[in-house]
Amino acid sequence: MHGAHELLNAITLVLCVAAVTTVAFQRMRLPVVLGYVLAGLIVGPYVPIPLVADRETVQLLSELGVILLMFSLGLAFSVRKLVKVGPTAALTATIESSIMVWLGFMVGHALGWTPRESIFAGAIIAISSTTIIAKAFDEQGTKGKLRELVVGILIVEDLIAILLMAVLTALSSGDGVSAGTLAKSSGRLAAFLVGLVAVGMLIVPRTIRAINRLKRQETTLVASVGICFAIALLAREFGYSVALGAFIAGSLIAESGDEKQVAQLILPVRDMFAAIFFVSVGMLIDPAVIVRHWPAVAVFTAVVIAGKLVGVSLGAFLTGSGTRMSVQAGMSLGQIGEFSFIIAGLGISLSATRDFLYPVAVAVSAVTTLTTPWMIRSAGPVATYLDRKLPRPLQTFAALYGTWIEQLRSVRHPQTAASTARRLVKLLLLDIATLTGLVVGAAVSGESMAAFASLKLGLATAAAHGLVLLAAMALGAPLVVGVFRIVRGLGISLALAALPEAATGRTDLAAAPRRALVVTLQLTIVLIVGLPLLALTQPFLPGWVAATTLGLLLAILGLLFWRSALNLQGHVKAGAEMIVEALVTQARKGAVTSDVEMFAQIKHLMPGLGEPVPLRLDGRSAAAGKTLAQLNLRGLTGASVLAIARGEDRVIVPMASEVLRAGDVLALVGTHEAVSAATSLLKGAGNDRQHESSAMGEPVIDP
């Protein structure tokens, strides 16, 4: 009876205080998650307020919140959705998460934390908050492609977080890390996941579909929650976190096709226990610890905002999302949230980290949560500013790169080309996996191998270590050379698919754009494979060895990229001159062919310019009398004006200060979506800003 009384007291105190703080935060238009955290701070043991809830009871209830929260996230994840978001979100999330894990580890190492604490710090800051972003997007009315891209990245990040939690659990078991224990833990984890998913796919989706046919919501709710807790308990019995089991349970139910109904039923229960979870997070915050570790809070806050901006923007652009959309996505994901709390709590429960890491993570989350709405609102102007400050060759490249990626995705690859690309990808993954295993194995077993060599060969300790290092380098050198050769071959193969070579004996007019595309694709592949490799091997390597190697390679590719961008600028000017000359000649002789037909002919003469689209401005156009800078055409739509024909006059690659006039014929280049948006903007007689912002996925804000 006493236990029931304590439970009732804890629930009453937590929910009543949380109700007051969340209403206040809602009134102030602040994230309600921070209201829950503040409630936990009030009822926690570290603030001198006579409202103290029983910590153990709240922690027990919060574990139910973790299970239900992870279960609902699993419901939003399925193989079908992962395929739908496509490679853009997957590759972007991989690049960004790898950068953040590495940055977190390096910052933790610089602050004097243990290697395990540094690894946990990297995992904590790698995952953005689905809850916070969803609420911010809803409040600001963000829709369209931007929301689709961000949600896709979040889905992949959730999967990465689950993998990180499983790996961290495996690495934190035992007193030390060796090649044997690492291989054993990884094999055990893989066997558990494969077995659970395989058996679950045979049972869970069929069970849920059968239960749903009964048409009783109560039965569906009880059965779904029962499956969730059963799989969570199974994961706990095997030594893994309940969060991992709950997420897998949700993803298995999602494969039934009835996940939306289950998500609707579970929502009220999830929200209540999730609120208790966030309150429990606040109860663990010791303001004195945050004050003592304020430099870590400040540094990690800056790393989260800047690192995610760079990582997401770079990944999204390289996968063809355009400058503006990429920057907007990067600024939208600049925070951490619920997964960070769960990972930090996992570190404490496994005794892998000290208690200070949890309040530091919560403090960083609180600050970045407050900055998220402002960053989302500022994303459009920041993207416009960055686009205008880019050098002219980079502006030209950015306008055309999207068209090349669009063409690469739409072209039907011959069977031989597709099989060659798949073979190269398999070889690349094999080499990377072998290289990772070699680096980790040499690092964790280096001491024992050096001792063995010293004993058997009679070498001094330093000489034995040098021999082991030389042996590892000798084994790794062929793998590194093989990776470079595969990356080069894969980049050339993909570029040729988008921009084929001219027939034998003819001038290859696509050479300049193809060269730029080859270098960019090689840079992209290096980032996709190099950054995860860096994140995985950095804890096992001394200092900045891996980062310096990768940075040197990126610097070389960057130099080659800049040279190719300069060559591309000359190619584009030649194409623009050809287009405007044809337009002027046609206007002088009288229109024999339409502008569209003439541009189609020019496309074959100057490949690599995408599909230039002609647009005549009439007197009703709102664009007449305005400069390109005032219209912000490239910033808002992603399309560029390649040339302007104005009677007998011609303008080649116009500057931002160029004033458009009625009767001008513009040659627009960009992706089909970008050119369509630019056409609507230029033709519209007074397109209002809200309509355009909504179409491009920006938040609609009343002035």
Same domain, 542 and 473: yes
Res 684 pLDDT > 70:
no
Same domain, 462 and 569: yes
Which structural domain range is residue 317 located in? 2-389
Q: For the residues of 149-209, what is the DSSP string, one character each?
A: HHHHHHHHHHHHHHHHHHHHHHHHSSS---HHHHHHHHHHHHHHHHHHHHHHHHHHHHHHH
Same domain, 452 and 513: yes
Could you give the number of structural domains in the chain?
Answer: 3
Same domain, 347 and 412: no
Burial 689-702 (b: 16+ CB within 10 A, else e): eeebbbbbbbbeee
Percent of the chain at pLDDT exceeding 70: 86
**467 CB burial (10 A radius; 0-12, 13-18, 19+):** middle
Per the model's pLDDT, the better-predicted residue between 365 and 656 turns out to be: 365
* Region 19-30 average pLDDT: 86
| pLDDT at residue number 455 | 75
| pLDDT at residue number 32 | 80
* Region 487-510 average pLDDT: 79
Q: pLDDT per residue over 37-51, tens digit each?
A: 888 888 888 887 777
Q: Where residue 113 sits, what CATH number does that domain have?
A: 1.20.1530.20
Domain assignment present for residue 581? The answer is no
| pLDDT at residue number 396 | 82
What's the number of CA atoms in the CB half-sphere (13 Å) around residue 556? Answer: 8
Q: For the residues of 431-486, what is the DSSP string, one character each?
A: HHHHHHHHHHHHHHHHHHHHHHHHHHH---HHHHHHHHHHHHHHHHHHHHHHHHHH
d(C-alpha 182, C-alpha 171), whole Å: 7
DSSP 540: G
Per the model's pLDDT, the better-predicted residue between 56 and 563 turns out to be: 563
Sheet with 613-616, edge to edge strand ranges: 613-616, 665-669, 640-646, 649-652
* Region 108-135 average pLDDT: 86
Q: Which of 109-113, 613-617, 667-671 has the highest mean pLDDT?
A: 109-113
d(C-alpha 442, C-alpha 636), whole Å: 51
Domain end, chosen from 389, 414, 441, is at 389
Contact 211, 220 (CB under 8 A): yes
Domain assignment present for residue 594? The answer is no
Domain assignment present for residue 584? The answer is no
Q: pLDDT per residue over 399-458, tens digit each?
A: 888 888 887 877 665 556 667 777 888 888 888 888 888 877 777 777 777 777 777 777
Domain assignment present for residue 582? The answer is no
Domain assignment present for residue 583? The answer is no
Same domain, 89 and 223: yes
Per the model's pLDDT, the better-predicted residue between 222 and 547 turns out to be: 222
Domain assignment present for residue 603? The answer is no
Domain assignment present for residue 604? The answer is no
Domain assignment present for residue 351? The answer is yes
Least confident of 85-99, 103-117, 370-384, 589-603: 589-603
Per the model's pLDDT, the better-predicted residue between 107 and 447 turns out to be: 107
Average pLDDT score over the chain: 80
Same domain, 400 and 287: no
d(C-alpha 352, C-alpha 610), whole Å: 53
Same domain, 321 and 424: no
Same domain, 569 and 634: no
Same domain, 382 and 405: no
d(C-alpha 85, C-alpha 162), whole Å: 19
Enter the pTM of the model. Answer: 0.80
Backbone angles phi, psi at 411, to 5 degrees: -70, 145
Same domain, 302 and 420: no
Q: Where residue 637 sits, what CATH number does that domain have?
A: 3.30.70.1450
Same domain, 467 and 362: no
Domain end, chosen from 356, 389, 422, is at 389
| pLDDT at residue number 393 | 85
Domain end, chosen from 370, 389, 408, is at 389
| Identity of the residue numbered 273 | F
| pLDDT at residue number 416 | 60
| Identity of the residue numbered 237 | E
Backbone angles phi, psi at 607, to 5 degrees: -65, 155
Contact 578, 653 (CB under 8 A): no
Same domain, 62 and 99: yes
CA torsion, ordered 193, 196, 199, 200, to nearest 10 deg: -110
Q: pLDDT per residue over 280-333, tens digit each?
A: 888 877 888 888 889 999 999 999 999 999 999 999 998 888 888 899 999 999
* Region 458-469 average pLDDT: 76
Q: Which two tokens stand for residue 305?
A: 């905002």
- The H-or-E segment that residue 531 falls in is helix 511-537
Q: pLDDT per residue over 571-616, tens digit each?
A: 788 777 777 777 677 666 555 445 556 555 555 656 667 677 778 8
